[in-house]
């Protein structure tokens, strides 16, 4: 068992790393040439167009005002200064509510920590069990429940505290759920007009030999919603087009790169190889080759676009249907349309920039099968991913390394190295493995066919949490592969499982303290440094950027990745709740994590992140549910632990707790969840009435007609003025920034034409830049 010394060293290393990151950030952020990395949000909002300081030439790149370095933690109060309503206005409700999760952690754990340290620590400390047992133990163990002799009456204190902590957590959760629900409703009510308020996505339109999907949809809704139907847009399968455009963009980047290279060194035309990754193949003039490739692709793109619009086979049996009123849309989204419940399925349309267009082309019938397959795949991932981790971890301890590499013995035997290996390495190994996981999980969600980015992220988050629970939490506690766990669980009775895990919990406190420091503290400090975007921005800036506009595109503000950071927070909730009674020593580490993360993410949300979508805090029921799950798990494990401690009188009282907690959850669900999944008619009617009074002559049809056009079809006139495609979509809908355009800030076709003189001339494609 690792001693307090190891913890001390790990803490020192981690605090130092975190400090280094923070200082690096403080220095880097003050350099004007990094301004677009650390303050992109202000550029995107149009509130800043160049770094603030621009005196001498040098100070345009390097900050020479040394006074500003002294106040290097200045950003912290700055980050906290903005009030919540301002924050909602500035960054959206999703971000504001996301921050509340960290605050919720503080609200729950600060009082719990005080109580646990004030009551449980003395109760634990004033025993001699560990001393009498003559086992090696650290001060952390002496402060934990392990130090209480079996059958002691002192366990009543722990039982009582379990109740107090549960009630406190539930109270805070209830308040928070209510607050978030009312924030959401207020936000939705005060929101400005958005196309998704009026629109519904209808899927599984039945095939009809006589009518096209468009006609079918129109007739169906004219008949069944005669007073409310306004307009519809069919969904095209534009996945091939998207691939072509992506390739076009890649080639264009290469062209830019070669052109800049050439302009810097005019003596030699750049050459390239045409083979795989440019490693072999014929040598050609790079600029000419890329130009011709782009030309070919541009032609293909135009052809493919024509094909899509003319070929009825590329129309999916789905459509975005818009209504005259929000009331009509709310009604259509919440009701069943057809007598066959698998046809004419309606659901709220996601915000246009939240739509994950690729998945709209998935036939609805295959969705069930896809979900089943992914469920099985996830099961396999969860149960077999652990094997390599456990293998590496088993090597990465003193004995393991000695066995595998006996020649390293002299190095290992040094006190410092030993502490390092025991206190630091297991956490790092685990973390390295976990870095690749979110991508895999996100891919899984995409295969499942969710049609909005927000739901993709929510699904991935749920999976990530489950994965963490099984592999990191249980896997670290009972140290065995998930498969082995499963095997032993099946052969144990239901009441023995919490016992097995409960007994192991106090012993793993040190490991999790290290984990919190590595993953939580250093991870968060690394988050604010934005090392990857920093490097990529400067690379792009050097190789690709020609105009100010290109520089804007090179900027990658990123966004809150809900699918990775929310499960991370949840894991700390779980650790905190599980160890609150068992080893209260762990709690301050969690509080520091929550505090630091809150400040860091508040800063990032204000200055950096640019959310792709706004779901109106639709993720809160998930957050709430997972904290409740953590509570129940902690209660079950405590029951299991105490039942092995012969605390027979107090254990039965603990069995009531999970029941009460689940009851509380159902109560909250009944009270608040509908606010997150349904849209009350009263609200819809109120907004409709208000709007009708304010803007009686609003041309809603014009507003909605092209709101749900595939982003690749937008700004189509820049390809070809007399294109058939344009005859269909004459009006340009600039009201709604599409996902792509909001990310790149200049939509694709304008780039085709907008890139200045050195770009190849494509007479049939390039006409003029509508934005220039």
For position 674 contacting a second copy by CB under 8 A, the verdict is yes
Residue 648 as a binder of a second copy (CB under 8 A): the answer is: no
* Residue 633 interacting with a second copy (CB under 8 A): no
The nearer residue to a second copy, 206 or 388, going by C-beta atoms, is 206
Whether residue 368 contacts residue 752, with contact meaning beta carbons closer than 8 Å, is answered with no
Tell which residue, 149, 158, 123, 175, has the closest CA to residue 578. 158
Burial class (CB in 10 A: 0-12, 13-18, 19+), 682: exposed
Q: What sign results for the dihedral spanned by CA atoms 129, 132, 133, 135?
A: positive
CB of 665 to a second copy, least distance (A): 13
Residues 203-222 that bind a second copy (CB under 8 A): 220
User: Of the candidates 277, 494, 697, 699, which one interacts with a second copy according to CB under 8 A?
Assistant: 494
Tokens (6 digits) for 33: 């040439």
Q: Most distant CA pair in the chain: distance in Å? A: 91
Count of positions (residues) in the chain: 772
Q: CB-based contacts of 210: which residues, under 8 Å, 6+ apart?
A: none
Q: How far apart are CA 315 and CA 327, in angstroms?
A: 28
Q: Does 561 bind a second copy (CB under 8 A)?
A: no
Total number of residues binding a second copy (CB under 8 A)? 41
Which of residues 326 and 603 has its CB atom nearest to a second copy in the complex?
326
Q: Which is nearer to a second copy, 410 or 670 (CB)?
A: 670
3-state secondary structure of 283: strand
**How far from each other are the two terminal CA atoms of the chain, in whole angstroms?**
67
70 scored as a contact of a second copy (CB under 8 A)? no
Query: Which residues in 222-251 contact a second copy (CB under 8 A)?
Result: 223-225, 227
- x-marked contacts with a second copy along 341-360 as a string, rule CB under 8 A: xx-x----------------
User: 305 or 499: whose CB is closer to a second copy?
Assistant: 499
- The pair of structure tokens assigned to 150 is 């079996």
Question: Binder to a second copy among 411, 648, 671, 698 (CB under 8 A)?
Answer: 671
Q: Does 185 bind a second copy (CB under 8 A)?
A: yes
Q: Which of 242, 668, 675, 765: binder of a second copy (CB under 8 A)?
A: 675
**680 touches a second copy by CB under 8 A:** yes
Please give the backbone phi and psi of residue 231, each rounded to the nearest 5 degrees, phi first. -160, 160
Phi, psi torsion values for 347, nearest 5 degrees: -150, 160
Q: Should residue 491 be labelled a site residue for a second copy when binding is judged by CB under 8 A?
A: yes
DSSP string, 578-644: HHHHH-GGGHHHHHHHHHHHHHHHHHHHHHT---S---SSTTHHHHHHHHHHHHHHHHHHHHHHHHH
693 binds a second copy (CB under 8 A): no
> What is the nearest approach in angstroms of a second copy to the Cβ of residue 83?
24
Interaction of residue 336 with a second copy, rule CB under 8 A: yes
What's the closest the beta carbon of residue 97 comes to a second copy, in angstroms? 17
Which uninterrupted H or E stretch holds 474?
A: none
Question: In angstroms, rounded to a whole number, what is the distance separating the alpha carbons of residues 633 and 451?
Answer: 33
Q: Interior CA angle at 276 toward 272 and 279, to 5°? A: 50
Whole-Å CA distances, 374 to 256, 381, 462:
40, 10, 14
Does residue 672 belong to the site contacting a second copy (CB under 8 A)? yes
Give the interface segment with a second copy, choosing from 197-205, 340-348, 460-468, 625-633 (CB under 8 A): 340-348
Minimum distance, C-beta of residue 221 to a second copy, in the bound complex (Å): 10
Pairing of strands 229-236, 315-323: antiparallel
Q: Least distance from C-beta 685 to a second copy, angstroms?
A: 5
Stretch of residues binding a second copy (CB under 8 A), selected from 72-80, 334-342, 468-476, 649-657? 334-342
CB of 235 to a second copy, least distance (A): 21
723 binds a second copy (CB under 8 A): no
Q: Closer CB to a second copy, residue 413 or residue 678?
A: 678
Provide the mask over 364-393, with x wherever binding to a second copy is found by CB under 8 A and - wherever it is not: ----x---x---------------------
Give the nearer residue to a second copy in terms of CB position, either 274 or 682.
682
Choosing from 83, 282, 493, 731, the residue that interacts with a second copy (CB under 8 A) is: 493
Distances (CA, A) of 519 to 15, 56, 93, 258, 526: 12, 42, 27, 41, 10
Query: Which positions touch a second copy (CB under 8 A)?
Result: 185, 220, 223-225, 227, 330-331, 334-339, 341-342, 344, 368, 372, 490-496, 663, 667, 670-675, 678-683, 685
């Amino acid at each position: 068992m690792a001693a307090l010394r190891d913890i001390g060293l790990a803490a020192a290393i981690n605090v130092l790393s975190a400090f280094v990151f923070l200082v690096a950030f403080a220095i880097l952020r003050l350099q004007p040439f990094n301004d677009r990395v650390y303050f992109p949000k202000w550029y995107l909002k149009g509130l800043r167009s160049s770094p603030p300081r621009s005196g001498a030439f040098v100070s345009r790149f390097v900050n020479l005002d040394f006074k500003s370095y002294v106040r290097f933690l200045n950003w912290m109060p700055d980050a906290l200064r903005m009030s919540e309503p301002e924050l909602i206005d500035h960054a959206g409700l999703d971000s504001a509510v996301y921050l509340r999760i960290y605050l919720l952690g503080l609200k729950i754990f600060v009082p719990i920590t005080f109580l646990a340290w004030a009551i449980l620590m003395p109760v634990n400390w004033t025993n001699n069990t560990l001393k009498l047992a003559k086992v090696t133990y650290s001060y952390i163990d002496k402060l934990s429940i392990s130090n209480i002799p079996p059958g002691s009456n002192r366990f009543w204190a722990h039982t009582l505290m379990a109740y107090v902590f549960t009630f406190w957590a539930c109270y805070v959760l209830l308040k928070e759920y209510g607050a978030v629900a009312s924030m959401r409703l207020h936000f939705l009510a005060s929101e400005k007009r958005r196309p998704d308020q009026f629109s519904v996505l209808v899927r599984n339109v039945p095939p009809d030999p006589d009518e096209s999907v468009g006609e079918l949809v129109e007739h169906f809704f004219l008949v069944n919603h005669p007073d409310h139907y306004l307009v519809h847009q069919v969904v095209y399968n534009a996945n091939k087009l998207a691939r072509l455009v992506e390739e076009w963009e890649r080639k264009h980047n290469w062209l830019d790169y070669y052109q800049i290279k050439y302009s810097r060194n005019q003596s030699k035309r750049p050459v390239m190889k045409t083979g795989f990754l440019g490693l072999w193949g014929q040598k050609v003039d790079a600029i000419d080759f890329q130009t011709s490739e782009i030309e070919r692709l541009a032609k293909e793109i135009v052809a493919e676009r024509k094909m899509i619009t003319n070929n009825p086979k590329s129309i999916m049996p789905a459509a975005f249907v818009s209504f005259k009123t929000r009331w009509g849309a709310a009604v259509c989204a919440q009701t069943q349309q057809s007598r066959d419940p698998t046809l004419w399925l309606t659901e709220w349309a996601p915000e246009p920039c939240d739509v994950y267009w690729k998945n709209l082309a998935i036939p609805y019938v295959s969705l069930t099968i896809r979900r089943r397959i992914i469920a099985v795949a996830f099961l396999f991932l969860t149960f077999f991913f652990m094997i390599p981790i456990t293998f590496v971890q088993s090597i990465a301890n003193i004995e393991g390394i000695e066995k595998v590499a006996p020649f390293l013995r002299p190095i290992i035997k040094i006190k410092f190295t030993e502490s390092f290996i025991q206190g630091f390495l297991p956490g790092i190994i685990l973390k390295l493995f976990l870095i690749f996981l979110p991508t895999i999980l996100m891919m899984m969600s995409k295969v499942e066919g969710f049609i909005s980015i927000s739901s993709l992220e929510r699904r991935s988050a749920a999976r990530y949490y489950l994965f963490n629970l099984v592999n990191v939490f249980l896997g670290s506690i009972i140290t065995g592969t998930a498969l082995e766990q499963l095997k032993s669980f099946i052969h144990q009775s239901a009441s023995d499982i919490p016992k097995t895990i409960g007994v192991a919990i106090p012993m793993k406190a040190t490991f999790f303290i290290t984990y919190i420091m590595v993953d939580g503290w250093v991870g968060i400090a690394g988050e604010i440094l934005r090392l990857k975007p920093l490097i990529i921005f400067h690379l792009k800036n050097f190789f690709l950027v020609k105009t100010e506009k290109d520089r804007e595109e090179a900027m990658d503000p990123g966004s809150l990745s809900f699918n990775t950071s929310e499960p991370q927070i949840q894991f700390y909730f779980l650790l905190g709740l599980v160890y609150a009674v068992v080893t209260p020593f762990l709690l301050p580490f969690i509080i520091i994590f929550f505090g630091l993360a809150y400040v860091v993410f508040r800063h990032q949300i204000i200055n950096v992140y640019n959310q792709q979508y706004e779901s109106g805090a639709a993720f809160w029921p998930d957050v709430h549910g997972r904290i409740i799950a953590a509570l129940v798990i902690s209660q079950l494990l405590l029951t299991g632990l105490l039942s092995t401690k012969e605390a027979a009188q107090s254990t039965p009282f603990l069995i009531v707790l999970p029941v009460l907690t689940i009851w509380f959850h159902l109560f909250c669900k009944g009270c608040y969840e509908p606010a997150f999944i349904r849209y009350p008619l009263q609200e819809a009617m109120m907004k409709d009435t208000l709007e009708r009074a304010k803007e009686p002559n609003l041309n809603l049809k014009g507003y909605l007609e092209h709101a749900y056009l595939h982003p690749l079809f937008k700004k189509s006139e820049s390809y070809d003025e007399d294109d058939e495609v344009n005859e269909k979509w004459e009006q340009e809908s600039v009201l709604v920034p599409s996902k792509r355009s909001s990310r790149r800030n200049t939509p694709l076709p304008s780039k085709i034409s907008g890139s200045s003189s050195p770009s190849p001339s494509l007479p049939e494609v390039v006409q003029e830049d509508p934005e220039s």
